[in-house]
Amino acid sequence: MLAYLVRRLAWGIVTVLGVLLFLFLLFFMLATPDDIARKAVGEKAPQAVLDQWKLNHGYDKPRIWNPEAPGDTMLAEHFRRMLTFDFGNSDADDTPIADRLLGGAGPSLAFTLPLFVSGLVLGISLSLFVAFFRDTYIDRVGTVIAVLAMSVSTLLYIIGVQFLLGKLLRWFPISGFDYSPEVMVRFLALPVIVGLVSGIGSDMRFYRTVFVEESSRDYVRTARAKGCGEGRIMGRHVLRNSLIPILTNVVVTIPFLFTGSLLLESFFGIPGLGSITVDAINANDFATLRVVVYIDSLLFVAGQIATDFSYTLADPRVRLG
Amino acid sequence: MKRRLGAVALAAALALSACSNDPYPDADASRAIFYNVFDDPPKTLDPQIAYSVVDHSVIGNVYDTLLQYHYLKRPYTLMPGLLEEIPRAEPQPDGRVAYRLRLRPDLRFQEDPCFELSSPGSRTRDVTASDVAFAFARIGDPAVGSPVLETLVKISGMREFGEKLVKRRTDDASFAALRIDRQYAEIGGIAGVQVASPSELVLVLDEPYPQIRFWLAMPFTTPVPWEAVAWYDGRDGHELFAEHPVGTGPFRLTQYEKRSRIVMERDPSWYGARHPGAPGTVYPTDGEPGDVAEGYLDPARVGKPLPLLERIEFRREKEDIPAFTKFLQGYYDLSGIPQESFDRMVHEGALSPEMSAQGMRLAKAVGADIYYIGFNMDDPVVGAPAGERGRKLRQAMSLVADTAEFQRLFTNGRGIPAQSPLPPGIFGYDPDYRNPYRKVDPARAAELLAEAGYPGGIDSKTGQPLRLTFDTPATDTRSLLTFQFWVDEWRRLGIDVQIAATSYNQFQDKVRRGAFQVFQFGWVADYPDPENFLFLLWSGMARTKNGGPNTANFEDPRYDALFDQMKARDDDPERLRLIDEMREILERDCPWIPLFHREGFALYQAWVAPPKPVGMAFAVDKYRQVDPALRAKLRAAWNRPIRWPAYALAAVTVAVVLPGIATWRRERA
């Protein structure tokens, strides 16, 4: 178990370092320090202001190799900062990045958490329901709706839901965010609905397959033969024994609840981490972008390891080693 | 089971009845709040650095400026702001010029905890001449990175101040650790910025520069308390000064969630509230002819103490369509018109009857700007070295550049076709002037091209086709499409023009090296003076040689001499004559093809008092007025939710699921 953990962590570290290196190389293949500085100081600013900005932000150093002082390069500084979690200030507006990320995690969680919980409950309930009625028209109607739901692009859902529920029926605000709970609920309705509708199809198809396969096993037949009720069979036996594939699907996504959604946050105007990421890309804000990518890669590795461990909790037969 | 189903249905019905598309708390409905939108968040709220429109939309309300523009008068007219009067130039015996800046008495900064630094227990203090001097010192401090430093080096000792500061900071670590105001004081401040008394500052310029008055009407020179800069340093949990303004203006920044919303509340301790009647503290009583008819001099506003709003609320909208939809629902007070919706909103330059029926109105404003195609005058083919050939080539290219067609295709017909660099509203603009090379005349263009030695686009000397590059500072599809339009016009004449699209910085690099031929650019005025446009063609500002904004590298000794005379004069007939002569030189030499001056169309709601359009970025929010009662009434009428589809959907779901359950139970039984 310990050996397994060490091995996974070691691979995780290599992955994260690789991500950091690729990020640096890709970013600076597309943008120069002048591009970053120009975005920050504006188009009218003279060259002297641009140069001063680069000096203040450390973009005046050689990028990869400095024969006089090998440690004094942008690449070395990049790794030093990330590995010591010294995130520094944003290139776009000089605000501390750690504060910005903490500020963005709240709005992201405000919509990812209800979306995650309601998506999980709805996905599992509907799948149990259609699996329960398998081979009836309810199952078939459910399958058709699920396939339709997963075939449509999220962008179309966003525009469609904004038009239908926001503009035509006037049930919810089209987009925006507010920290007062009274108004926040109104704002979160549409992104949660879009998240649910766009995710429910594939979840339903997946969970239904798992449940149907599980409910044809011998122990289910035995339980039924012993006179166990159908609701109890589905709710206790089938659901419990289907947990491993469900956990694979679910646990890995939990860490990303903090990072929000690039698409939904942008279109619905939620000032979360997804929106911060999009802003950082648009503003050539390398300092912020690298922190977001770094944290994402750390969370990814953490999610993978957590998923492995959750197997042992769900099924005592699983051993890590 | 039935009871549970009933409870779920009741909860759903309750939730549905609580549905509302109102993005604001109910309690705000009756308040005089002005709702507007922003796209990209402000870069900085530091008045000595901020240069973008969105930065100034906040700063302009939080900081009053030393001078200000009259809200209604055109051409734009300066009037006192924090100063008691507009300072006059006082020529000095050594050729320098001095200006006396006298502050109004009893000016105070907005309340803020930072004033603990100078006086424990205090939340504010008076504004003094030292605070204005501190602002100038910050402009001169290279570490601050003010974008206007190069322009204001005309202030005596400004450059030396910056050099001394940098040297001391490099040489002496203990100096660099001093509080910022002490650093400035220790090296003796700027020689040309002298504090004569707590309320008087003397500004000495090395040369006559009447345009300095316009810089006093911009936030760059507004007084800033040193306490705020020292306190808000981003350390020990303090915010950054760039995020926490401490000003003298009519509004205080109360919420700065710059990725979602910005809120400013009326400041009850503002100078205008304590001294009603001072210039700029009441709604103007006079304006231009026609202002009464347009509703700008409505008795409901005239003479009323400013600001007329309780609060200004900016919400962030990254996408045009949701923002515009919310405007149509009544949740924003002012809106631009997205290109997709333009034809539905505007018919033949007026608002569509459908929109007019809702009480909306249309405001048009011509920007103080110029968009143009320029030629690199150092280039051997299109520039001055080609002599008469180059001139005729440029004139020919100008004669086929069809601005009206460009506007029809790309700007919904908005914009004033430009004849010279000067836009309407700027002294020297002549609405009757027609540049002979700015009409569309392909036949004459072909003649000129032949006279230039390129008949049909073929160089008669070498027999080779004429090839030019159009160097562009953008690579996005929409921009490329607009550049392609001009290229197609020139190709019709036979000239093979290739687009060389690069990023803005790569373009700047090409321009620095002089490695470009034809380019397209724009300029938005910093201040309403012809000097701010005509200097774009003055040789002292040539980009490749001097790093200035004369990107065309145009050099003409006569033009330069006229410019020198024109820039130092007040607006009089002689200045007009000088401008006309400069215009003739530009017309003949054609270093630019002037394209258009932008025209902004804005819609505003029935409950908003008509706003006078401004083509420049100066703060007008204190003059705005809204009628919250009318707004609440119309919003309620426009936004009644339609609930029946929810009931229908629930009924369909029940109708599909219930028979299935019933069948299944029957089979099991």
Alpha carbons B525 and B79: distance in angstroms, whole number: 19
Chain B CB contacts of A187 below 8 Å: 23
3-state secondary structure B206-248: CCCCCCHHHHCCCHHHCCCCHHHHHHCECCCCCCEHHHCCCCC
Alpha carbons B149 and B134: distance in angstroms, whole number: 14
Chain B CB contacts of A167 below 8 Å: 325, 329
* Residue A144 pLDDT level (bands cut at 50, 70, 90): very high
Question: Which residue(s) pair with B315 in the sheet?
Answer: B37, B261
% of chain A surpassing 70 pLDDT = 98
Residue B17's pLDDT is 53
Q: How far is A114 from chain B (nearest CA, A)?
A: 16
Option in B16, B19, B147 nearest A46 (CB): B147
Q: Mean pLDDT across the stretch B50-70?
A: 93
Alpha carbons B347 and B8: distance in angstroms, whole number: 50
Does residue B661 register a pLDDT over 70?
yes
Residue B320's pLDDT is 86
- Contact call for residues B334 and B601 (beta carbons, < 8 A): no
Of B5-14, B505-514, B653-662, give the lowest mean pLDDT range: B5-14
Chain B touched by A133 (CB under 8 Å): yes
Q: How far is A133 from chain B (nearest CA, A)?
A: 8
Of A124-133, A143-152, A156-165, B631-640, give the lowest mean pLDDT range: A124-133
Rounded to the nearest angstrom, the gap between the alpha carbon of residue A58 and the centroid of all alpha carbons in its chain is 31
Option in B146, B147, B316 nearest A269 (CB): B316
What are the E-state strand segments in B144-295? Answer: 193-197, 200-205, 251-257, 261-266
User: Would residue B573 be called left, alpha or beta, if left means φ above 0 and alpha means ψ between -120 and 50 degrees?
Assistant: alpha
Q: What is the DSSP string of A34-86?
A: HHHHHHHH-TT--HHHHHHHHHHHTTTS-SS--SS-TT-SHHHHHHHHHHTT-
- Contact call for residues A237 and A220 (beta carbons, < 8 A): yes
What number of other Cβ atoms are within 10 A of residue A271's Cβ?
26
Residue B615's pLDDT is 76
Structure tokens at B360: 């909306």
- Contact call for residues B229 and B290 (beta carbons, < 8 A): no
Q: Mean pLDDT across the stretch A218-227?
A: 86
* Residue B258 pLDDT level (bands cut at 50, 70, 90): confident
Which pLDDT tens digit goes with each residue over B188-216? 999 999 999 999 999 999 998 999 999 99
Q: Mean pLDDT across the stretch B458-480?
A: 89
Contact between A136 and B325 using a beta-carbon 8 Å cutoff: no
Does residue A256 register a pLDDT over 60?
yes
Residue of A nearest to B38 (CA): A269
Structure tokens at B261: 């919303």
More confident call, A175 vs A248: A175
- Contact call for residues B424 and B431 (beta carbons, < 8 A): yes
Q: Mean pLDDT across the stretch B135-144?
A: 93
Q: How far is B144 from chain A (nearest CA, A)?
A: 9
Chain A CB contacts of B547 below 8 Å: 46-47
Q: Residues A122, A126, A129, A132: is their CA dihedral positive or negative?
A: negative
Which pLDDT tens digit goes with each residue over B414-466? 899 999 999 988 899 999 999 999 999 999 999 999 999 999 999 988 889 99
Which pLDDT tens digit goes with each residue over B302-329? 999 999 999 999 999 988 888 999 999 9
* Residue A67 pLDDT level (bands cut at 50, 70, 90): confident
* Residue B564 pLDDT level (bands cut at 50, 70, 90): very high
More confident call, B9 vs A134: A134
Q: Tell me which H or E stretch contains A111.
A: helix A97-132
Residue B212's pLDDT is 93
Q: Which A residues, 242 through 301, put their C-beta within 8 Å of a C-beta on chain B?
A: 266-267, 269-271, 275-276, 279, 282-283
Option in B42, B146, B641 nearest A170 (CB): B641
- Contact call for residues B201 and B101 (beta carbons, < 8 A): yes
Q: Mean pLDDT across the stretch B111-121?
A: 93
Option in A42, A56, A141 nearest B51 (CB): A42
Residue of B244, B255, B318, B657 best to disrupt the A interface, most CBs of A under 10 A:
B318
For the ranges A87-96, B263-272, B465-474, B564-573, the one whose mean pLDDT is highest: B263-272
Contact between A48 and B23 using a beta-carbon 8 Å cutoff: no
Contact between B23 and A138 using a beta-carbon 8 Å cutoff: no
| Mean pLDDT score across all residues of chain B | 90
Q: How far is A109 from chain B (nearest CA, A)?
A: 16
Alpha carbons B22 and B635: distance in angstroms, whole number: 9
Which pLDDT tens digit goes with each residue over B343-367? 888 887 788 888 888 889 988 888 8
Q: What is the DSSP string of B79-114?
A: EESSBSS---EEE-TTS-EEEEEEBPTT-BPPP-GG
Burial class (CB in 10 A: 0-12, 13-18, 19+), A128: buried
Chain B CB contacts of A267 below 8 Å: 319, 322
Option in B23, B145, B508 nearest A52 (CB): B145
Residue of A174, A184, A192, A267 best to disrupt the B interface, most CBs of B under 10 A:
A174
Residue of A nearest to B142 (CA): A52
Which is nearest to B295 in space by CA: B621, B625, B632, B617? Answer: B625
Q: How far is A304 from chain B (nearest CA, A)?
A: 32
Chain B CB contacts of A52 below 8 Å: 142-143, 145
Of B53-57, B348-352, B434-438, B524-528, give the lowest mean pLDDT range: B348-352
Residues 6+ apart with CB under 8 A from B412: B337, B339, B342, B343, B346
Option in A138, A174, A283 nearest B322 (CB): A174
* Residue B15 pLDDT level (bands cut at 50, 70, 90): low
More confident call, B446 vs A92: B446
Option in A35, A138, A266 nearest B318 (CB): A266
Residue B669's pLDDT is 59
Q: Mean pLDDT across the stretch B250-269?
A: 94
Structure tokens at B38: 């922003």
| Mean pLDDT score across all residues of chain A | 86
Does residue B230 register a pLDDT over 60?
yes
Residue B40's pLDDT is 84
* Residue A56 pLDDT level (bands cut at 50, 70, 90): confident
Q: Mean pLDDT across the stretch B45-53?
A: 90
- Contact call for residues B181 and B226 (beta carbons, < 8 A): yes
Residue B4's pLDDT is 57
Option in B25, B44, B315 nearest A176 (CB): B315
Residue B308's pLDDT is 94
Q: Mean pLDDT across the stretch B13-37?
A: 83
Contact between A186 and B22 using a beta-carbon 8 Å cutoff: yes
Residue of B nearest to A141 (CA): B656
* B126 DSSP 8-state letter: B
* A235 DSSP 8-state letter: I
Residue B656's pLDDT is 81
Structure tokens at A125: 């309930």
Chain B CB contacts of A138 below 8 Å: 656-657, 660
- Contact call for residues A79 and A16 (beta carbons, < 8 A): no
CA dihedral A21, A22, A26, A31 (to 10 degrees): -30
Alpha carbons A42 and A163: distance in angstroms, whole number: 36
Q: Which A residues, 171 through 190, put their C-beta within 8 Å of a C-beta on chain B?
A: 171-180, 182-183, 186-187, 189
* Residue A60 pLDDT level (bands cut at 50, 70, 90): confident
Chain B CB contacts of A107 below 8 Å: 260
* Residue B660 pLDDT level (bands cut at 50, 70, 90): confident
% of chain B surpassing 90 pLDDT = 66
Residue of A32, A94, A279 best to disrupt the B interface, most CBs of B under 10 A:
A94
Residue B509's pLDDT is 81
Option in A93, A171, A187 nearest B23 (CB): A187
Option in A35, A92, A94 nearest B505 (CB): A35
Task: Show the DSSP H helices in B573-643 as ranges.
Answer: 573-589, 628-638
Residue B570's pLDDT is 83
Contact between B642 and A170 using a beta-carbon 8 Å cutoff: yes
Tokens 């002298």 locate to B194
Residue type, B592: W
Chain B touched by A155 (CB under 8 Å): no
For the ranges A91-95, A111-115, A210-214, the one whose mean pLDDT is highest: A111-115
